[in-house]
Amino acid sequence: MNPITNSPSIQDTRPWRPGALVSGTLALHAGAAAAIVAQPAALPWAAGGVIASHLLLTAAGLWPRSTWLGPNLLRLPPSAQGCVALSFDDGPNPEVTPRVLDLLDQHRMQATFFCIGARAARHPALVREIARRGHAVENHSLDHRHHFSLFGPARQMHDIAAAQRVLTELTGAAPRFFRAPAGLRNPFLEPVLCRLGLHLASWTRRGFDTAAAGDAGRVAARLLTGLAERDILLMHDGDPGHDRAGQPLVLAALPRVLRAIESAGLRCVTLRDTVRDAMLRATR
């Protein structure tokens, strides 16, 4: 199956517009090539400029919340007043995800689950249950390779489109957002996301709840310090760290986070609901 033409969201393809950093890098490469042709002695200076531009691109890709390589959702749109978004990565996990769902139900909160395609295929009933309870299922790559940021455009396309197919078939709704493994990426990602109709989403703050022997209080504090409307909070239901008692950190910290959100008079919503609402308002 061709990963491009058979992608379920290809009808929503959006145009790719390179940002200033990418455009500047392309211009620098062209200028360096022209300089070398015109004056071969300029080779060291031209090479130095090209190397510096690549280092800058690499730094941008290693900063998950960077917007230098293209649009990156770091907070909910301004229309999402009184709302925050809870997001969970790396699932589904049959040992943890159902308990996360129960906690969210108890507090009548909705969340966004960035699921790994291969894990979703192994636990299809759990993915359907996430969607059935009113939560959003989004794309977190097919296999969550830690060297994802080193993939070229063809491999990125194959990986993301394959996960897109799996998640769409299981939930009946095509994911609208993509979160890169560990948040790391390269300049090839944004054009691929544009072709698949996906939008990159990162976070406002994260709990670092994958630590081998973490502390739930610290996880909650990282998420709640400075909590404000429109925040996007990141936790993990897949591959979670554990506290000293052996309990998954996400399960130990989540009740505190949910109570704090309620006490602040905020409500949890999905990324797709708030962004869709913002788009509807813009067309009125």
Whether 89 is catalytic: yes
Query: If you ran DSSP here, which 8-state letter would residue 10 be given?
Result: G
Q: What's the rounded Cα separation, in Å, for the pair 26 and 264?
A: 47
Bridge partners for 268 per DSSP: 84
Tell the residue number behind the tokens 């199956």, with chain if given.
1
Instruction: Tell me the longest C-alpha to C-alpha distance in the chain.
Output: 70
SS (H, E, C) 202-243: CCCEECCCCCCECCHHHHHHHHHCCCCCCEEEEEECCCCCEC
| Given the residues 135, 140, 199, 236, the one annotated as active site | 236
Q: Quickly count: other Cβ atoms within 10 Å of residue 245's Cβ.
A: 7
Of the candidates 89, 90, 159, 209, the residue annotated as catalytic is 89
State yes or no: is 159 an active-site residue.
Answer: no
Pairing of strands 111-115, 267-268: unpaired
Catalytic residues: 89, 236
